[in-house]
Structure 1
């Protein structure tokens, strides 16, 4: 018993055509028909898949029954092989809808809105000037070890600021994080170090510093005195960025990223 495709002539067992996918054709030979519901099958293999009846009779095929079943193949049948992929897509959509995963921001740079504390000036100290001073001290240290200067990079600087402010937003109320570090496109896989002042220690608050130089020296020293972080400074190849942020209670947060 075979089924011949009207479109290309290929003989298959049942529609659709194995060669071209066409649904219409003609059976050649006989079929086995359920004596209860009339379901046709190419094999004598009871019970009937439609009603469970054990009685099958050998007859000439009834094409109307075959074609009505082929016409009834809907999008659910077609989609069945892709069910795992569809399930994953629905899960991702649900995570975005509920906010568990932040929705991509397109061309917008990830930011922390209304970040608590101060990113520009604190206790009369210009924090941008502190960052510039620390960058210079890092390059001075590398020069002493025979290494070249690390340049500035806008993308790396934006990542460093975002990462530092994200930590502040996690520790204090008020900040809204928009996006994530994974949405940046740096030219390398950055290595990073993060520092936060510890209560009860010298230099734990911005009020412990009177000048830009004092704070810059403290930040640079905390990076260059640790054996692992010092080695990262020497292993960097191209760029470096540092961000200094002062929390509402005066605690100092510092982030360093190297490429």
Structure 2
């Protein structure tokens, strides 16, 4: 036989790992190396001077106790040791992999990998040398699935949930204290954000106004403006602060906060404000026309191809309409 297992020395007919004795995945030539005596049944091993572990190669430190000194020795190998397969000789296949030397405390039973002066557990000085069989289950490397415990799954789920809430809060999808980048509400604003005193829906007037601007852009062969909810909400926040400041001494518009909110949706933003009276018989289209004819269609921003987003809010109070527009280059 020309090949032997690097780990246990079992001979094999061909270089075809793994070893059918110990499962090791690498073979070497010369199944049984002759020792210094020249006997065919002997081989050279390197024995750890600290714990007695045998190694097939001189490869310090010791693979058991990390001692750096390995002593060369001649070892005789019997035919039974070379040819016995797992399951033979009374051992169950897959049960016994090897034996090892441990030093057991006579007082508390603590096992030590090397002979120390005193027991690491109780301090007893009497340690007895003992041969211990190591089962395959003790030497097996755990799989990734073995590491996925219920506690690990719960912890990972909690971390992912917190991260998701933080992200949603930052982009303004939900309001999270100290994290949320959502648009705040303005309290106690005079008038109505929904309809005029005569019952005209302001949302309809806003839609008519945006349609007029997009018709103008179409005539100039410029792509229509999109109207995301978030920019609309920022326009509402700014417009309501303005109305409150004018009609209820609300303290003015928080321009810094408005700019912070716009920075999350726009690379650049421009604001336009206007107001107009509400007359008897007005409808949504008429209200929109009042702002369009107020000169907004002549503003070069309306037909600027770099501007692609609009946010609009119309608020009714004390017989007037208050318009806030944000044009954005997203």
TM-score by length of 1: 0.51
**Among 252, 256, 268, the residue aligned to 1:189:** 268
Please say if 1:222 is aligned against 2:294. Answer: yes
Instruction: Specify the alignment match of 2:193 in structure 1.
Output: 119
**Are the equivalent residues in 1 in contact too, given 2:238–2:324 (CA < 8 A)?**
yes
Please say which of residues 108-117 and 161-170 is displaced more in the overlay: 108-117
Instruction: Tell me by how many angstroms 1:145 deviates.
Output: 0.7
Instruction: Specify the alignment match of 1:149 in structure 2.
Output: 224
Instruction: Specify the alignment match of 1:207 in structure 2.
Output: 279
**Are the equivalent residues in 2 in contact too, given 1:116–1:169 (CA < 8 A)?**
yes
**Are the equivalent residues in 2 in contact too, given 1:113–1:175 (CA < 8 A)?**
no
Instruction: Specify the alignment match of 2:215 in structure 1.
Output: 140
**Are the equivalent residues in 2 in contact too, given 1:114–1:174 (CA < 8 A)?**
no
Instruction: Specify the alignment match of 1:12 in structure 2.
Output: none
**Among 235, 238, 258, the residue aligned to 1:163:** 238
Q: Distance in 2 between matches of 1:183 and 1:209?
A: 40
**Are the equivalent residues in 2 in contact too, given 1:241–1:257 (CA < 8 A)?**
yes
Superposed CA deviations along residues 18-39 of structure 1, whole A, max 9, x for unmatched, are xxxxxxxxxxxxxxxxxxxxxx
- Highest relative contact order (Cα 8 Å, sep 6+), 1 or 2? 1
Instruction: Specify the alignment match of 2:312 in structure 1.
Output: 242
Instruction: Tell me by how many angstroms 1:207 deviates.
Output: 3.2
Instruction: Tell me by how many angstroms 1:196 deviates.
Output: 2.2
TM-score by length of 2: 0.40
Q: Secondary structure at the match of 1:131?
A: helix
Select the structure that is richer in helix.
Answer: 1
Q: Distance in 2 between matches of 1:178 and 1:110?
A: 13
Instruction: Specify the alignment match of 1:54 in structure 2.
Output: none
Q: Distance in 2 between matches of 1:162 and 1:243?
A: 9
* Larger radius of gyration between Structure 1 and Structure 2: 2
**Are the equivalent residues in 1 in contact too, given 2:245–2:251 (CA < 8 A)?**
no
Superposed CA deviations along residues 187-219 of structure 1, whole A, max 9, x for unmatched, are 32211110123xxxxxxx223452111111112
Aligned residues: 145
Residues 1-259 of structure 1: matches in 2 within 5 Å? 106-107=179-180, 108-122=182-196, 123-173=198-248, 180-184=257-261, 185-197=264-276, 205-225=277-297, 227=298, 230-235=299-304, 236-247=306-317, 249-259=318-328
| Cα gap change, 1:232 to 1:114, in 2 (>3 Å) | same
Q: Secondary structure at the match of 2:186?
A: strand
| Cα gap change, 1:251 to 1:178, in 2 (>3 Å) | closer
